[in-house]
Amino acid sequence: MRVETVLREKFGYDSFRKGQKEIIEDVVTRKNVIGLLPTGAGKSICYQLPAYIMEGSVVVVSPLLSLMEDQVAQLRQIGEKRVIAFNSFRTFEEKRYAIAHLHTFKFIFVSPEMLQYDRFAHALARLKVALFVVDEAHCISQWGHEFRTDYMKIKDCLQQIGYPPVLALTATATKEVLHDITVSLGLQNVAYHLHSIDRPNIAIKVEHLRGMEEKKERLYELVQQLQGPGIIYCSSRVLSEQLAEALKEKGMDGVEAYHGGMEHEKRMLIQQQFMKDQLSIISSTSAFGMGVNKPNIRFVIHVQYPTNMEAYLQEIGRAGRDGKNSIAILLSTPLDDEVPLAMVKEELPTKAQVRQLYTMLMKANDTTMEALEMYCTRMIGLDEAKWRFLTYQLELLGVIVDSAVQKNKLNEDTFHRICTIIESRVQHKLRNLYGMKEWLHTETCRREAYLRIFGETVENRPVNCCDRCGINLTAYERTDEGKVSSLFSWPEELRQLFRIEGMGDS
C-alpha cells in the first residue's frame, strides 16, 4: 500500500510535511531511523502511519504522562481503539488487564520507567513488535537536558524483544547528542534524517531590564499588548503562581498557573482548557510543554532563561505550530544568573550525599531497595531523579546486582568514580549554561547564533527575525481574534474531560 494512500485514508491529509515521507519510507522497510524535525513538524505521523502498513504492534517510549495521553487522544480521534498508555498512573488492576491483553493493542505507549516492570517486559517479549519508537529521544543522551537513567536501559529492553526496527525522534539535538542516542540504543546501519531546527515564523527578542519589578511591569505590558494564546515560562512553581495571580488582579481573564506540584487531575484540566481556548495564558514551569500540540500559540515569554539552548528552543517551539507569525520574548536582568546556576547544581547529587549513601549502604542488612530509597529521601535529601541516577551508577559499577548490595564493592575507588562522573556532568551543564548566557548578550543575529550551535546557518532570513536584525512588534499585537471562550465550572469540565456521569457540583 502506498504511504500517500494511508495518509489520505487514515489521517485525512493530501500531502506530507517536509521530512515526514522520507522517514516513513525508511521505517516501513525496517531500517533503524533517527529523525530530527523541528517542533510542530508532525513527528507523530512518522510512526502512526507505518503502523497501518507493518504487521505487529508499535511500542512508543514517551517521557511524560501528558504527552502520552495527548497522543492516545489523537489516535482515538481518527477512530483507533487499539491504543493504550502504560504508566505509573494506571491502577494495579488496569496494569494487570493491559498486560494480559497486550497483544490486542496496535499502539502501546509506555514510560521508560515502566519498561523496567518485569511483568510488562515479559509480556512485551512475547509480542510481535513491528516498530520500537523513542519519542523525545534527546532524553536518552547522557548529556541531554532531560536526562533520566531509565532511558539508558532501553538498550536492554531492545535485546529482550529481539531488536525490532527502532525510530528515534527529537526536535533539538546537537551532533554530540545524536551520536550519544545512536550509541546508547546500540543501533547499527542507521538512516539519519536531520532537518533544520529553525522556525522562521517565530521572531526572537531579548529585553534587558534592571530588576525584577521592572521585569514584572514589562511582562504585564506585553501580555496586554500581544495577541494570545501565550505561555509564560518561569523557573519555579511559586513564581508561576505569583505571576498568574498578579495578572488576574490586573484584570486579565483566562489565566492559570501550571506546574508539577499540582494534582494530576488539575494539571490535565488546565491543559484541556488551554487546548480548547477556554484559557488564554498559562504561567508555567518547564513542566508544561511536551504533549501540548496547540497550533495557535502566538507568544512565549521567558521570565528567566533556561539552563541550555536546547531547552530554550523546545519551549519557544510551542509557538506558531500553525505556521503563522509568532514571537518569543525573553526578559533578562543582571540578577538572573543565580537561578539557572542553582538549578544546574541542584540537578545532581553532591559529594556529601554520595558519601552518606555509601555509609548507609554499608550499614544496611537485608533491606529492600524500596526501603533504602525511602530512607535516602528522608535522611539524605535525595529526590527520585537523584536516587535513580545513583542506583544506576552503582549498578554499572557492580555495587548493586539484582537489587542486592555487594558490600565488597563499596570502596573508595567506586566512590571516587561516581564523584568524577557527577563532576563531569556538572561541568558539561555549566558549559551549556555559559553558552546560553553568551547568546543572551550576542551583538549579532540571534537566529544565526543559535543555529551555529547546531551546525546550521540561516537559509532564509525572515522579515521579523530578531531584536538584533529588527522586529516590528505591531505584527504581534492583540486583535479581536482568539478571544477566550466561556469556561464551564470545574466539575462540568471534569465531566467533559473524563466523561464522568452524575458528578454533582460542590
Please check whether the two domains, 3-194 and 202-341+473-498, share a CATH topology: yes
Check residue 147 and give its pLDDT.
53
The bridge status of strand 83-86 relative to strand 107-110 is parallel
pLDDT given for residue 376 in this prediction: 80
pLDDT in tens, 10-46: 888 888 888 899 999 999 999 999 999 877 668 889 9
Query: pLDDT digits over 238-278, tens only?
Result: 999 999 999 998 888 899 998 878 887 888 888 888 888 89
**279 contacts 254 by C-beta, under 8 angstroms:** yes
At 11, give phi and psi (nearest 5°).
Answer: -115, -10
Query: pLDDT for 66-82, tens place per residue?
Result: 677 778 878 888 888 89
pLDDT the model gives residue 415: 93
Look at residue 447 in the predicted model and tell me its pLDDT: 95
Provide the pairing of β-strand 83-86 with 299-302: unpaired
Average pLDDT, integer, range 117-146: 80
**Rounded mean pLDDT of the chain?**
85
**Range 293-322 average pLDDT:** 90
Band of residue 319 on the pLDDT scale cut at 50, 70, 90: very high
pLDDT at 442: 94
Domain boundaries, the chain: 3-194, 202-341+473-498, 347-432
The pLDDT of residue 70 is 75
Contact 73/62 with Cβ under 8 angstroms? no
Q: What is the pLDDT of residues 462-488, one digit of tens each?
A: 999 999 999 999 999 988 554 444 444
Quick one: average pLDDT of 443-467?
A: 91
Distance, C-alpha 64 to centroid of its chain: 7
Mean pLDDT of 140-162: 73
- What is the mean pLDDT of the segment spanning 224-237? 92
At 492 the pLDDT is 52
Cell of 106: 496496535
Kindly state the percentage of the chain with pLDDT values over 70.
Answer: 90
Question: Helices 118-125 and 92-100 sit at what angle, rounded to 10 degrees?
Answer: 20
What's residue 202's pLDDT?
Answer: 96
pLDDT computed for residue 116 by the predictor: 77
pLDDT category of residue 500 using cuts at 50, 70 and 90: very low
Whether the predicted pLDDT of 177 surpasses 60: yes
pTM: 0.81
CATH number for the region 202-341+473-498 comes to 3.40.50.300
Of the options 1.10.260.40, 3.50.50.60, 3.40.50.300, 3.40.1180.10, the CATH number for the domain spanning 3-194: 3.40.50.300
Strongest mean pLDDT among 114-118, 415-419, 478-482: 415-419
Lookup: cell for 252:
486579565
Cα(71)–Cα(439) distance, integer angstroms = 34
pLDDT at 355 over 70: yes
Residue-by-residue DSSP string for 168-230: EEES---HHHHHHHHHHHT--SEEEEE-----TTEEEEEEE-SSHHHHHHHHHHHHHHB-S-E
Query: Mean pLDDT over residues 421-425, rounded?
Result: 90
pLDDT at 502: 36
- DSSP symbol at 258: E
Whether residue 125 is predicted with pLDDT greater than 90 in this model: the reply is no
Query: Residue 377's pLDDT is what?
Result: 81
